[in-house]
Amino acid sequence: MPNELSLLGIFHTVISVLAILIAFYALAQKGRINPAFDAGRLYSTFTVVACLTSLPIMKTGHPGPPHVLALIILALLPLAIYARSMRLFRRNADYVQTVLMSTTLYLSLIPAIIETLTRLPPDAPLATGPTSFIVQILLLILTILYITGVIYQVLQIRARKRLFKKPDGMVDTGL
């Protein structure tokens, strides 16, 4: 059966789905994935495990685009997590952190969509590969949602910073 998953594949899938669900919970709860809060820390941890477990999984026998995405996510997560403590970002740390965390979720959803559509339903998957029409449409919708979501989050941070600006010029966003 071409859709069978190995034990590693099953573990990777469960961890990946949990990471994505936790990210959506964080977005619903706080409007962003903040690694300073429990949901953000859990999302970060599960995402690292999902990325690391994805690396040995090779449907074609060699690394492919999903492996590149995993490596990009693994590079972005530490930047996002430590953005607030990096002098490089200073006053823009909230924006950088929010955009990077949202980007890791966006990048995680790309292979999730492709794998789901090329594996389900098991007897007649909805797509034959990443270039299938349904995959392309859903990736376009995902990209539009990502861009819209990031713009919304940035505007929310900007509004919060204006609202909570202290007389001494310091900002306390309460996040």
pLDDT tens figures, 44-100 = 999 999 999 999 998 777 899 999 999 999 999 999 999 999 999 888 999 999 999
Cα distance between the two ends of the chain = 48
Question: Which sequence spans correspond to the domains of the chain?
Answer: 7-163
Report the residue count for the chain.
Answer: 175
Helix (H/G/I), strand (E/B), else coil: 119: helix
- The closest alpha carbon to 111, from 57, 34, 42, belongs to 57
CA dist 175 and 167 (Å) reads 19
At 132, is the pLDDT very low, low, confident or very high (cuts 50, 70, 90)?
very high
Q: What is the pLDDT of residue 148?
A: 98
Q: What is the pLDDT of residue 165?
A: 73
At 175, is the pLDDT very low, low, confident or very high (cuts 50, 70, 90)?
low
pLDDT digits (tens, 9 = 90+) for 103-119: 999 999 999 999 999 99
CA dist 89 and 79 (Å) reads 10
CA dist 70 and 77 (Å) reads 11
Q: What is the pLDDT of residue 43?
A: 98
pTM equals 0.89
Q: Determine whether 133 is exposed, middle or buried from the number of CB atoms within 10 Å of its CB (0-12, 13-18, 19+).
A: exposed
